[in-house]
Amino acid sequence: MSALLLEIAANSVGSALAAQAGGADRIELCENLHEGGTTPSYGTLAVVRERLRIPVFVLVRPRGGDFLYDAGELEVMKRDIETCARLGCDGVVIGALDADGNIDQASCRELMVAAGTMSVTFHRAFDAARDQVQALEAIIALGCSRVLTSGAATSALEGVDTIAAHVRQAGERIGILVGAGVTKTNLPALVARSGAREFHGSARVLHASAMRHRNEALQGLEPDWMQTDADAVRALVAALQAPST
């Protein structure tokens, strides 16, 4: 049986470095986690790839909102994937649906071609699909390495029984990456009940700004921000290694 793996959703260079320091196995690099994540900037990609020794997967999503993309957005995603390949990233995280909630296989095939030899994760567009059983088969047919899911629930713990069903359906054909609300407290239960081998969390805490001057009237421009914390990552690693209960 393969070892358990922890992936950290890293929303900045600082988060990526903290994920590595805390013992994460790989990162999903992104921005705007409050919108479900979007593609990071070129500069973020380049600096993270230069500084990290662990695998770097990159979320390729041009905006928040739904997963129904027009031709212009598809072209943006293909170019972002090509950039990831040029920078030596290890994988990309993609996904697209049609208006009826089915996997947009035509668009996803184009993204798979752009990815070349990089590993491909299908993101939580899977959870927004009309029929997850059919969607999983479509994703397997595309050749993705894994699919990120909460079991189509608000959190992975709420959807853990559905995730377990996905694991059984997938067998050895594709990996199931468990994500959404993963904490050191619920991780042992997720391991025991899901049967999955890969887990995804952000391990973020509020990062206090060093600014002494603050304008409290600037709602939406607060100086503090959420960032992955190395100690929080270590706690997830410890929980992942603890005996299942």
Which CATH number describes the domain made up of 5-207+225-241? Answer: 3.20.20.380
The predicted-structure confidence for 98-148, as pLDDT tens digits, reads as follows: 999 999 999 999 999 999 999 999 999 999 999 999 999 999 999 999 999
Q: What is the pLDDT of residue 245?
A: 46
- Residues contacting residue 214 through CB under 8 Å, at least 6 positions apart: 223
The residue extents of the domains of the chain are 5-207+225-241
Q: What is the pLDDT of residue 219?
A: 84
Query: What are the backbone dihedrals phi and psi of residue 199, each rounded to the nearest 5 degrees, phi first?
Result: -135, 145
User: Which token pair is 176?
Assistant: 């199931």
Residues of the chain with pLDDT below 70 are 1, 243-245
Distance from C-alpha of 69 to C-alpha of 63, rounded to nearest angstrom: 10
Q: What is the pLDDT of residue 168?
A: 98
